[in-house]
A and B are shown apart, each in its own frame.
Chain A
């Protein structure tokens, strides 16, 4: 056997296990879901093929578009809050070696707590009768902002988003801290010797070095938001109506609560399509920037 042939054989052998597991247990279910989305199926009786009617009905359904918008809002808000905050905290840890180990462990702590507990805590926190949130606002002189956070159509969605956005910041702190530690120290030192302040050093020297790391964070943020489920489900059940539901919640409600697996699958497919579109866009921007 030639070495080239041997290499191909090895490549096939090495790739095969991951390929089979992934294909059979993830890709095939996805294809199945795509098939279900073309049927009328309550999970009990025979599936009836109805073509793209589920999609047509979905696109004419006001509730679907509300949850769609909520999901997009979540994507934007997680991107705008989690990534900069994660970066800021990571940078503060980076320029401050004292106690940074303790801090970074603490920052990761919320990530491992069950969302059920977090959601419960926040709904007690928001409660306008017994909660402390309104009391804190009053204490710091913002009493005018007091409201019924979960029962006000204007604040409801954001009140449900907050615990989720906050809970996973630690993940991004960890990623960015890793990124910052990989920046060559000479670069930073020489900039500081040249008299650039900490802030200028950050923007002109450090930031360009870690811009590539934001890619993974952005993708994690986006896919995480598009699949978001637990916080909304536990705090409000996605309600009132679907006012605090994301696509993931709407899908679960449709499929598992209302037993409409056809439409539920159709919603899933739109989630996957949306993810693909957004990640494609991000990768496209990434490549375009590299070329610049």
Chain B
């Protein structure tokens, strides 16, 4: 609206309100409650129209308010709004294409320091053609943000996101691009550049992949060398040996295994790692994605082993307070615990001398387990990149999105991110000398091992993961039995399959 039009609008609007009130006052002035009731009715009417499914309806109902709000705005407000309108349209204003990149690699994240300089460089190189808005959030905030943006249809053009059960609803609604389309269009990145099986996490029920895997991981079981030497102990190879070792440590006020459970971390991954030792377990985990069962004999068995570990005092008694990635690791790095189970994203919190002092060992073989734990390591895609289908197919944005994705999946950025402790999904040359010592040990250890999956990546829906996490916490405080634990998770899967 131009200024004169605005003024005209206000004048007309005022005249209209004035007229109305003049006429209305006659019957309203005496009875306040009646007048109130009238207001209420108007509100109810407005409220109800506001809830129709059709967006257009809602828009009509609220348009006048918008205009009032606009006229009431201060100058700066108006400017901001104009700026917002510009970015919103994302059009090729002034020859530049606006694209939005969102990620949870925020300022406090380990990846940020490696990602941001390269991102700035990329932005600089394309400053004449691209206008990229980078939106960063912490993980919890990010999930909420993306969910509201999905609901309001404002998804970013390119964003990092989880696969499996987390992306399912978006895929079903056709919001994400089948990445084959991207690879077909890209001259720089191809599907073959990635590790075998890296795409599995992003493969949906229709067999297509809807995300470009960026980060892979390896679960490692580490032992404090010095503590084992001090008490003249051997690394346990079987569960019986673990029990014996634990007795010695406990007698000396050392927690044998620093593994807690708070929100399912890190217990959930430990559970899967143990699970993989049993006959047919690997296939059962894989089958989960396609409607397989969680409540299996193996699951109950593993849960029973965990309860036994708790009963034997192997795990920290205060599992909630010592759960989570940071909490579990801390007891180990403070040498209050002899062993722990951890992942590369925690490596930067392991002090140098502890990296030196840590040995990666196979998890002790559980009773009745048939798969040799020394032959495998859990390794799976945890994170990647998804592309907004609409943006990719929008002729104005297509090239911009393509260029941005090429950058995000480039060898250069991938190599840089490995310095933060990220194991890449892409096959790139990694200079091991630049890595942390513990990372070098992990790479060395994982070399000849078979990679196995975890429940987290194959669970078909987000609520099943949530249930697994929160019930594992319950199992760890012994509030529920192994049987109840598996049934609770199964109940969620069954409900979704109805």
Contacts and interface: CB of A to CB of B under 8 A. Distances in A.
Interface string A222-258: 0000000000000011111111000000000100111
A240 B474 contact: yes
A46 B255 CA distance: 51
Interface stretch (B143-151, B381-389, B439-447): B143-151
A256 B474 contact: no
A19 B38 CA distance: 13
B43 interface: yes
Contacts of A239: 262-263, 320, 469-470, 473-474
B415 interface: no
A6 to B, nearest CB: 9
Given A43-B150, A240-B474, A258-B463, A23 B46 contact: yes
Contact of B318 (A23, A35, A127, A238): A127
Given A239-B470, A257-B462, A129 B476 contact: no
Interface string A1-38: 00011011100100000011001100110011001000
Nearest to A253: B466
Query: How extensive is the interface on chain B, given as a class?
Result: 35 or more
Contacts of A46: 53
Contacts of A27: 43, 47
Interface in B247-262: 255, 261-262
Interface string A114-157: 00000000011011111100000000000000001111110010
A261 B144 CA distance: 12
Interface size bucket, A side?
Answer: 35 or more
Contacts of A253: 466
A179 to B, nearest CB: 31
B298 interface: no
B25 interface: yes
Given A129-B316, A148-B318, A8 B28 contact: yes
B185 interface: no
A240 B150 CA distance: 29
Interface in B468-491: 469-471, 473-474, 476-477, 479-480
A236 B51 CA distance: 35
A240 B25 contact: no
B121 interface: no
Contact of B336 (A32, A129, A150): A129
Interface of A: 4-5, 7-9, 12, 19-20, 23-24, 27-28, 31-32, 35, 42-47, 123-124, 126-131, 148-153, 156, 236-243, 253, 256-261
Given A150-B318, A153-B479, A241-B471, 17 more contacts: A8-B29, A24-B65, A28-B46, A47-B53, A123-B320, A127-B322, A129-B318, A148-B319, A148-B320, A148-B321, A151-B317, A151-B319, A151-B320, A156-B477, A240-B474, A240-B476, A257-B143
